Amino acid sequence: MNTFYYEFRESVRIAFAQITAHKMRSVLTALGVIIGIVAVTLMGMAITGMDTSFESSLAMLGDDVIYVQKWPWGPVVDWWNYTNRPPLQPIVATELNKLIEAAPSTLLDVAVPVRVRSGTVKRGDNSVGGVYMAGTSGDYGRIITADFREGRLFTETEAESACAVCVLGCDVADALFTNVPAVGQTIQVRGYPFQVIGVLARQGSFLGLFSFDTQMILPIKAFEKDFGGKNIGAEIRVKVKDKKRLEEAKEELIGLMRRVRGQLPGESDNFSINGEEAFKEQLDPVKKGIAIAGLFVTGLALFVGAIGIMNITFVSVKERTKEIGTRKALGAKRRTILLQFLIESISVSVIGGIVGIILSSSLCLLIGHIFPKLPISFSPVLVVVSLLVSAGTGIVAGFAPAWGASRLDPVVALRYE
Amino acid sequence: MSTLRTTRPIGPLVIDIDGVVKLYQMGTETIHALRGISLKIHRNEYLAIMGPSGSGKSTLMNMLGCLDTPTAGRYEFNGKNVAAMVDDELADIRNREIGFVFQTFNLLPRSDALRNVELPLIYAGIPSDQRRERAQQVLEEVGLGNRMHHKPNELSGGQRQRVAIARALVNKPSIILADEPTGNLDSQTGIEIMALFEELYKLGNTIIVVTHEEDIARHARRVVRLRDGLIESDGSVS
Ligand SMILES: Nc1ncnc2c1ncn2[C@@H]1O[C@H](COP(=O)(O)OP(=O)(O)OP(=O)(O)O)[C@@H](O)[C@H]1O
Ligand SMILES: [Mg+2]
Protein residue closest via CA to atom 16 of ligand 1: B56
- Where helices occur in A330-379 by DSSP H, the ranges are 334-370
Q: How far away, in angstroms, is B59 Cα from ligand 2 center? A: 7
For residue B53, which ligand has an atom nearest its CA? 1
More confident residue, B197 or A144: B197
Cα–Cα distance measured from residue B233 to residue B178, given in angstroms and rounded to the nearest whole number: 20
Cα–Cα distance measured from residue A104 to residue A111, given in angstroms and rounded to the nearest whole number: 16
pLDDT at residue A147, as a whole number: 85
Q: Is residue A225 part of a domain?
A: yes
Mean pLDDT computed over A188-196: 91
Q: Domain boundary residue among A212, A241, A270?
A: A241
Number of neighbours of residue B64 by Cβ within 10 angstroms: 26
| Contact status of B137 with chain A (Cβ, < 8 Å) | no
Mean of the per-residue pLDDT values of chain A: 88
| pLDDT 10s digits, A227-255 | 887 777 889 999 998 888 888 898 899 99
SS3 state of residue A185 = coil
Number of neighbours of residue A232 by Cβ within 10 angstroms: 13
Which atom number of ligand 1 is nearest to the Cα of residue A415?
Answer: 1
Number of neighbours of residue A317 by Cβ within 10 angstroms: 25
Contact yes or no for A120/A192 (Cβ under 8 A): no
pLDDT at residue B6, as a whole number: 46
Q: Dihedral (C-alpha) B148, B151, B154, B160: value to the nearest 10 degrees?
A: 70
Mean pLDDT computed over A155-166: 89
Contact residues for A270 (Cβ-Cβ < 8 A; gap 6+): A85, A86, A261, A263
Residue of A nearest to B95 (CA): A331
What domain range includes position A147? 109-241
> Are A233 and A134 in a shared domain?
yes
| pLDDT 10s digits, A66-105 | 889 888 887 788 888 888 888 888 888 888 999 999 888 8
Which residues of chain B make contact with A16, given a CB cutoff of 8 A?
none
> Are A284 and A402 in a shared domain?
yes
Give yes or no for residue A376 having a pLDDT over 80.
no
Q: Which of A195, A268, A203 is nearest to A57 (CA)?
A: A203
Which residues in chain B show pLDDT less than 50?
1-6
pLDDT at residue B116, as a whole number: 96
pLDDT at residue B238, as a whole number: 59
When scoring B67, B89, B114, B129 by the number of chain A Cβ atoms within 10 A, the one with the most, hence best to mutate, is B67
Interstrand relation of B46-50 and B207-210 (parallel, antiparallel or unpaired): parallel
Q: Which of B76, B91, B80 is nearest to B15 (CA)?
A: B76
Q: Domain boundary residue among A210, A241, A272?
A: A241
Contact yes or no for A128/A172 (Cβ under 8 A): yes
Q: Is residue A264 part of a domain?
A: no
Give yes or no for residue A162 having a pLDDT over 80.
yes
Burial of A304 (0-12, 13-18, 19+ CB in 10 A): middle
- Looking at the 3D structure of chain A, how many domains does it have? 2
Distances (CA, A) of B77 to A6, A277, B43, B98, B162: 28, 79, 11, 10, 26
CATH number for domain B44-68+86-236, candidates 1.20.1280.260, 2.30.29.30, 3.40.50.300, 3.90.79.10:
3.40.50.300
Residue-wise over B150-178: b if at least 16 C-beta within 10 A, else e? bebeebeebbbbbbbbbbbbbbebbbbbb
Mean pLDDT computed over A256-277: 87
Contact yes or no for B170/B120 (Cβ under 8 A): yes
> Are A287 and A407 in a shared domain?
yes
Number of neighbours of residue B188 by Cβ within 10 angstroms: 8
Interstrand relation of A65-69 and A272-274 (parallel, antiparallel or unpaired): antiparallel
pLDDT at residue B2, as a whole number: 41
More confident residue, A187 or A45: A187
Contact yes or no for A60/A206 (Cβ under 8 A): yes
Per domain, the residue ranges of chain B are 44-68+86-236
Which atom number of ligand 1 is nearest to the Cα of residue B210?
Answer: 22
Interstrand relation of B222-227 and B46-50 (parallel, antiparallel or unpaired): parallel
The rounded percent of chain A whose pLDDT value lies above 90 is: 38
